[in-house]
Amino acid sequence: MDNVSFYSLTLGHLKDHFLQNNVKPFHAQTVFTEIYKKLNFNFQKSDFDTPLITDALGVFDFSLPKIVREQNAKDGTTKFLLEMKDGLKVETVLIPFHKRFTVCLSSQVGCAMNCSFCYTGTQGLKRNLLAQEIIGQYLVAWQWLIQNRPEKSVCPNIVFMGQGEPLHNFDEVKKAIDIMLTTEGLHLGPRQITLSTAGYLPGIERLNEMARVNIALSLHSPTNSVRNELIPLNRSYNIETVLNALGKIPLLKRQFVNFEYLLIKDLNNSSEDAVKLATLLQGKKAIVNLIPFNEFPDSPYKRPSVESIDRFKLILEENGIPTTVRTTKGDDILAACGQLKVLDEITQAKKLRDEKNKNNL
């Protein structure tokens, strides 16, 4: 049987384990600091190298996901294809933002939500990631940053916007976040973490069990009929139901809910849509992030013109809704929002299609 992963342990778990092995529990804090703050995985060579501690730690597996591919975009974005122990792969992206990087983490292998604009959605759900695999992605990306971009290697912020619907894997994502927030460990602040959801109501209703991280809702349309097309999950939990549930989450004083809005030409980018969106969000602590659609091979949707993006933004702002336009990062390596998918499979699918087309000629 495989050893238990060290990264699946909370500080409390490690203390209990030490107690059972006659090690003073305060040593657990030293170990957490060594691993998570100093990224020192070679603990045999550290101050706490005593036979009792090393024996107690010897039962754990310290291995991290393997980088099997690394792609660097012109704008400084780096996308990793990471292999888990069972051979399944997910993508993790490091995105430069001003003075520090943000890591975009995956929460599942594939995704069950089947959003029509998303590469990942076409893959279906293979399995949930475990807390240690979520933390593993972070540690691998941070280690890479320290080695390759030392000038900007301060511990990166986190967005759960990679593969998967994080609230569909609530327990493991919550556990990973709890470990990431541990003061003696990574010591991230809840506001350094953003959870993005397509509107998975059973998860939204459990958000009060979690630390007050930032929440982002992928809204993409103020109209249920259009949102049904973009996010099939909307047929189960429509806009009003999801907004009502989000409204019940207590927000901190200067905390907002981020509403992600993918702008797609001739589908959801009219002035009428902007007015409807402003009406929908009136009186809410909301920020809208407009994301001009990134076309990918065979994508059914198109990117709107710069003028129509500006017009949409202006209407929202005139109606008192703070709005930003997200500059897409990593376009040239398909690292932008909704574009993560194991590229081998894309290439495979394209090959099959091309062969089919050839045979039909």
Residue ranges in contact with ligand SF4 by CB under 6 A: 111, 113-115, 118, 120-121, 163-165, 198, 338
Q: Please identify, using beta-carbon distances, which residue of 292 and 338 lies nearer to ligand SF4.
A: 338
Q: Please identify, using beta-carbon distances, which residue of 230 and 315 lies nearer to ligand SF4.
A: 230
Structure tokens at 223: 């109209």
Task: Please give the Cα distance from 315 to 201 (Å, whole number).
Answer: 29
User: Nearest approach, Cβ of 26 to ligand SF4 (angstroms)?
Assistant: 41
Q: Please identify, using beta-carbon distances, which residue of 34 and 260 lies nearer to ligand SF4.
A: 260
Q: Which residue is nearest to ligand SF4 (CB)?
A: 121
Which whole-number Å values give the CA distances from 158 to 132, 140, 305, in the listed order? 15, 13, 30
Task: Please give the Cα distance from 341 to 348 (Å, whole number).
Answer: 12
Q: Per DSSP, what are the bridge partners of residue 70?
A: 80
Task: Please give the Cα distance from 185 to 41 (Å, whole number).
Answer: 13
Q: Please identify, using beta-carbon distances, which residue of 14 and 113 lies nearer to ligand SF4.
A: 113
DSSP for 205-273?
TTGGGS---EEEEE---SSHHHHHHH-GGGGTS-HHHHHHHHHTSPPPTT--EEEEEEE-TTTT-SHHH
Direct distance between the N- and C-terminal alpha carbons of the chain, in angstroms, rounded to an integer: 53
Active site residue 337: yes
The pairing of strands 214-218 and 257-263 is parallel
Q: What angle do CA 293, 297, 298 make, to 5 degrees?
A: 90
Q: From the candidates 91, 172, 229, 260, give the one annotated as an active-site residue.
A: 91
Q: Please identify, using beta-carbon distances, which residue of 123 and 323 lies nearer to ligand SF4.
A: 123
Q: Please identify, using beta-carbon distances, which residue of 5 and 214 lies nearer to ligand SF4.
A: 214
Task: Show the DSSP H helices in the chain as ranges.
Answer: 11-20, 27-32, 51-57, 131-148, 170-181, 201-204, 224-230, 239-247, 271-281, 306-318, 343-360
Question: What is the rounded (10 degree) CA torsion for 40, 41, 46, 49?
Answer: 150
Whole-number CA gyration radius for the chain: 22
User: Nearest approach, Cβ of 336 to ligand SF4 (angstroms)?
Assistant: 12
Which whole-number Å values give the CA distances from 34 to 40, 185, 336, in the listed order? 6, 8, 34
User: Nearest approach, Cβ of 120 to ligand SF4 (angstroms)?
Assistant: 4
Question: Within 13 A of 188's CA, how many CA atoms are on the CB side?
Answer: 28
User: Nearest approach, Cβ of 359 to ligand SF4 (angstroms)?
Assistant: 31
Q: From the candidates 104, 115, 155, 337, give the one annotated as an active-site residue.
A: 337
Q: Please identify, using beta-carbon distances, which residue of 164 and 222 lies nearer to ligand SF4.
A: 164
- Which residues are part of the catalytic machinery? 91, 337
